[in-house]
Amino acid sequence: MTDRRNDQDNETQKGGSADSDPWELFESWFAEARTKEINDSNAMSLATVDQFGLPNVRVVLMKELDRRGCVFYTNLSSTKGTELQSSHKAAVCFHWKTLRRSVRLRGRVERVTDKEADDYFGSRARTSQLGAWASKQSRPLRSRFVLLKEVAKYGLRFGLSKVPRPEHWSGFRLLPDTIEFCREGQHGIHDRDLFSFDKARNLWSRTTLQP
Ligand SMILES: Cc1cc2nc3c(=O)[nH]c(=O)nc-3n(C[C@H](O)[C@H](O)[C@H](O)COP(=O)(O)O)c2cc1C
C-alpha cells in the first residue's frame, strides 16, 4: 500500500509485523481514526442475514477490541440479536471518511461472557441502562411518549439502587477469519490488503487485491 510501508516500518520497530499481523495494522488505523474522525470513530456497519439469506445492515458501536475480535452490545431479542443467534455469523465495515479508509471483518460471532456484559452495562449512563430495560428494540412503537413512560416506570422500579443488566441485553464478539484494509490511492486507484486466518497453521496470511 502507498504509505503502508510507513505503518510497516513503525510496526517492525515495535516488534510486530504489519505484513502478517492484521491486528497491529487495525490498531494503528483505529488509533488514527480516534484522533481524526469527529464523531463515532468506533461506528461500524454490522451485516447479518435473515432466515431467507436476505442481508440486513445497521450501525453499531464497537466497545472493545482485542486480538480475538471486536465487541458490540445490543438487545438480544432485536432483529440483529435474533439473526446473530441463529446464523452465528456476521460482517462489519468501518468507514473512516476523513482518512478515506475502510476496514472489513467477516467471521463467526459468539456471545460475550455475562461478566463482560455486566461490566460494560455497569459503565453506561443510567438513562441508557433504563432505556435497555424499556425498549423492545426492533418492535413497533406507538409513540415516543409510550417509550418515555416505560423508561420512567423502570426509573421508579430501580429507585436509587443499581440498575441490573436485563437478561435480554448483552454483547457479541465478532471473531474474524478475514480482515480487509482499503485505502484511497492516487488517481482513484485504491490499495487493498486482505488478511486471511489459516486455522491449520494458526497464522494470518496477506494477499493484495485488485481495487
Ligand atoms: C451512531 C449509531 C450507533 C448505534 N449503536 C448501536 C449499538 O451499539 N447497539 C445497538 O443495538 N444499536 C445501535 N444503534 C442503533 C442501530 O443502528 C439499529 O437501529 C438498532 O440496533 C436496531 O437494529 P435491528 O432492528 O437490525 O436489530 C446505533 C445507531 C446509530 C445511528
pLDDT at position 5 over 80: no
pLDDT at position 24 over 90: yes
* Grid coordinates of 110: 459468539
User: Predicted confidence band at 211 (pLDDT cuts at 50, 70, 90)?
Assistant: very high
**pLDDT per residue over 44-97, tens digit each?**
999 999 999 999 999 999 999 999 999 999 999 999 999 999 999 999 999 999
d(CA 151, CA 1): 49
**pLDDT per residue over 184-206, tens digit each?**
988 889 999 999 999 999 999 99
User: Predicted confidence band at 176 (pLDDT cuts at 50, 70, 90)?
Assistant: very high
* Residue 154 maps to a domain: no
**pLDDT per residue over 100-127, tens digit each?**
999 999 999 999 999 999 999 999 999 9
* Residue 184 maps to a domain: yes
C-beta neighbour count of 43 within 10 angstroms:
17
Instruction: Please say whether the beta carbons of 137 and 78 come within 8 A.
Output: yes
Atom of ligand 1 nearest to the CA of 78: 27
* Residue 29 maps to a domain: yes
d(CA 23, CA 67): 6
pLDDT at position 137 over 70: yes
* Grid coordinates of 147: 417509550
How many alpha carbons lie under 13 Å from residue 130 in its C-beta half-sphere?
18
* Residue 90 maps to a domain: yes
Q: Please report the pLDDT score of residue 187 as a whole number.
A: 87
* Residue 34 maps to a domain: yes
Domain count, the chain: 1
The enclosing domain of 88 has a CATH number of 2.30.110.10
* Grid coordinates of 56: 440486513
Q: Please report the pLDDT score of residue 20 as a whole number.
A: 80
* Residue 162 maps to a domain: no
In which domain, by residue range, is 191 found? 4-121+169-209
* Residue 148 maps to a domain: no
93 lines ligand 1 (CB under 6 A): no
Q: What is the 3-state secondary structure (H, E, C) of the chain?
A: CCCHHHHHHHHHHCCCCCCCCHHHHHHHHHHHHHHHCCCCCCEEEEEEECCCCCEEEEEEECCEECCCCEEEEEECCCHHHHHHHHHCEEEEEEEECCCCEEEEEEEEEEECCHHHHHHHHHHCCHHHHHHHHHCCCCCCCCCHHHHHHHHHHHHHHHCCCCCCCCCCEEEEEEEEEEEEEEECCHHHCCEEEEEEEECCCCEEEEEEECC
Interhelix angle 22-36/4-13, nearest 10 degrees: 110
74 lines ligand 1 (CB under 6 A): yes
**pLDDT per residue over 156-173, tens digit each?**
999 999 999 999 999 999
Q: Please report the pLDDT score of residue 17 as a whole number.
A: 56
49 lines ligand 1 (CB under 6 A): no
Atom of ligand 1 nearest to the CA of 63: 8
CA of 133 to the centre of ligand 1 (A): 15
* Residue 52 maps to a domain: yes
* Average pLDDT taken over every residue of the chain: 92
pLDDT at position 18 over 80: no
